[in-house]
Amino acid sequence: MMTGTPLFQKNSDTHQTMVSMGKATFGGGDIPIIAGPCSVESEDQMTAVAKTLIQIGVPCIRAGIFKPRTSPYKFQGIGHDGLDILQSIREQSDLAIVSEVLSIEHVMLASPYVDCFQVGARNMQNFELLKTLGRQEKPVLLKRGIAATLEEFLMAAEYILLEGNSQVILCERGIRSFDPQTRNVLDLGSVALLKELTHLPVIVDPSHATGKRSLVGPVSKAAIAVGADGLIIEAHPEPEKSISDADQAISLLTLQGLHRELIPIATAVGRTLPTLEEVAVPC
Ligand code: PEP
Ligand code: MN
């Protein structure tokens, strides 16, 4: 039973939660990027990604080892074998590791290896998972469900907040609509509205929003312009060979170019994109 105002609610113009992981802080002046493949495939793949991120100055790496696939016949992620790869990224770098969990068991397994738990669109209303994450001491990146209203999205976040974990980042990743030409429809207006409704940081996933690598750049720019507090982008050393989501993966070189192009857009809206000097660490 709700007794007062919900915990997600913004109470004043300056009421803003900052969520930190590794060298990144979401919700402040910086606009951190999380980049990496849809799925962890091998140690070589992740080392190549990690090296590039460090070189560019991207502070967080996507590293999904458990994949929520629409078809049970498709690659379900590398699973437990991926934990050693996460550990190796950890030993080689200061990159914050963001990894998706589908179940309470995954939370326990992945916890020692990750800096942030990702909850995918398909699990946005997995309330027992959300409650468990609410009892962890690590940030949670909560993606909007494929057909979730903003009320449902915010109430999903409330499940985490109510258990005591205030480190929640919301992620708009596109919603289901009638036109299959883009994988989803990016609801950019909702990003601006969420920024009014909640003090939680709001980031955008241009990869799942569009499903097409050529659109990742333009949409990332629009997201920053509209006020997003960060981006999560799928990037792969050999995009066409990605085991999952190959059509939307950008190359590491493209990521580097895009990062450069985003800097003036962040500046134009009074924000900063963390750059090389601020996050560089030896790999
Ligand atoms: C993902 O990030 O790889 C993913 C499965 O995204 P979503 O939950 O937004 O579909
Ligand atoms: Mn994906």
Give 15-51 pLDDT, tens digit per residue.
999 999 999 999 999 999 999 999 999 999 999 999 9
**Nearest ligand atom owner, CA of 120:** 1
From first CA to last CA, the distance across the chain in angstroms is 49
Does ligand 1 lie within 6 Å of residue 68's CB atom? yes
Whether residue 281 is predicted with pLDDT greater than 50 in this model: the reply is no
Closest CA relative to residue 26, chosen from 135, 139, 121: 139
Does ligand 1 lie within 6 Å of residue 201's CB atom? no
Q: What is the DSSP letter of 246?
A: G
Whether residue 168 is predicted with pLDDT greater than 50 in this model: the reply is yes
Closest CA relative to residue 169, chosen from 60, 50, 63, 85: 60
CA of residue 176 to ligand 1 center, whole Å: 13
Query: So what's the pLDDT on residue 277?
Result: 53
CB of 205 closer than 8 Å to CB of 232: yes
Atom of ligand 1 nearest to the CA of 208: 9
Whether residue 280 is predicted with pLDDT greater than 50 in this model: the reply is no
Whether residue 278 is predicted with pLDDT greater than 60 in this model: the reply is no
Query: So what's the pLDDT on residue 282?
Result: 44
- Average pLDDT over every residue of 110-124: 98
Higher pLDDT among residues 225 and 4, named by residue: 225
CB of 219 closer than 8 Å to CB of 231: no
For 207-241, the pLDDT digits (tens) are 999 999 999 999 999 999 999 999 999 999 999 99
- Average pLDDT over every residue of 165-177: 98
Does ligand 1 lie within 6 Å of residue 209's CB atom? no
Whether residue 252 is predicted with pLDDT greater than 50 in this model: the reply is yes
Lowest mean pLDDT among 2-6, 137-141, 154-158, 192-196: 2-6
CA of residue 96 to ligand 1 center, whole Å: 18
Q: What is the DSSP letter of 159?
A: H
Whether residue 200 is predicted with pLDDT greater than 50 in this model: the reply is yes
Residue with CA nearest ligand 1 atom 4: 120
Phi, psi (rounded to 5 degrees) for 269: -105, 20
CA of residue 237 to ligand 2 center, whole Å: 15
Distance CA 186, CA 132 (A): 29
- Of the chain, the percentage scoring pLDDT greater than 70 comes to 96
Which run of H or of E encompasses 99? strand 96-100
Does ligand 1 lie within 6 Å of residue 143's CB atom? yes
Query: So what's the pLDDT on residue 4?
Result: 87
Residue with CA nearest ligand 1 atom 10: 121
Contacts of residue 266, defined as CB under 8 A and 6 or more positions apart, other chains included, come to 31, 224, 272, 273
Distance CA 111, CA 109 (A): 6
Atom of ligand 1 nearest to the CA of 119: 8
CA of residue 103 to ligand 2 center, whole Å: 18
Query: So what's the pLDDT on residue 283?
Result: 42
Q: How confident is the model at residue 148 (pLDDT cuts 50, 70, 90)?
A: very high
Whether residue 57 is predicted with pLDDT greater than 70 in this model: the reply is yes
